[in-house]
Amino acid sequence: MTEQSNEFQRQPILLAPPAVTFLAAGMIALHALLQVLGPAAQSWTFRNFAFVPYEFFALFGDRQLDSPMQTTLTLVTHAFLHGDWAHLLINMGMFLAFGSLVERAYRIPAFLAFFVIGAASGALTQTVFEGGQAFVMIGASGAVYCMMGVVVRLLFQSKNPAGRRRAVVLAAVLMALNLFGGLMGVGDLLAGAQIAWQAHLGGFVTGFLVTFLIRPKAR
């Protein structure tokens, strides 16, 4: 087993490092603030910062947009918005667990790049599957699943066969739960909305593949 992968596997998952803690705290604070400000503020925020494929498709068509740059930024800003406390806390629990492992294995700029790339790839994957419809997409799940993909890739890099087996099992379990949730509509029970399983898949695959380009920090 390499020194890097051995150190990675010894890391305490729940003692979150600074960047993942800051992002999670920011998303929780934003959600709490919107609850205090009320429906009008929530509606304005979702209208301006949630990802809407119909609006994104307009960037490549004849329909004029008031702010093309803002529409582009929603590829990432939607990740900071959540439908209710259950939706937020489920995502934050997974984000703190997997994001902590990723931040410790990589430098903070790389960790932040994974977050941005995961959020955007999740939104784009959902758009590919659903087309340019006028539904609203929110939540950090694309970025969360990107972190999961990175963790699986790091486990695959282990020279220990047990580490590689854990990677296979983890990937299989995550994808099975994701597919089950999408097909059975578990999101209606967990977070009051349908699970965007396509976005999860896109984030996971992207996280796994991007690790071939972004190397872990030296130990």
Quote the CA–CA distance of 120 and 59 in Å, as a whole number.
15
Quote the CA–CA distance of 1 and 158 in Å, as a whole number.
6
Q: What is the pTM of this model?
A: 0.83
Report the pLDDT averaged over residues 168-176. Answer: 73
Quote the CA–CA distance of 187 and 183 in Å, as a whole number.
10
- pLDDT confidence bin for 134, thresholds 50/70/90: confident
* pLDDT over 60 (residue 1): no
Distance from the Cα of residue 90 to its chain's centroid: 12
- pLDDT confidence bin for 15, thresholds 50/70/90: confident
Q: What is the mean pLDDT of the chain?
A: 82
pLDDT number for residue 188: 36
Element at 31 (helix H, strand E): helix 18-37
Percent of the chain with pLDDT over 70: 79
pLDDT number for residue 191: 38
Q: Could you identify the residue written with the tokens 């220990």?
A: 160
pLDDT number for residue 62: 64
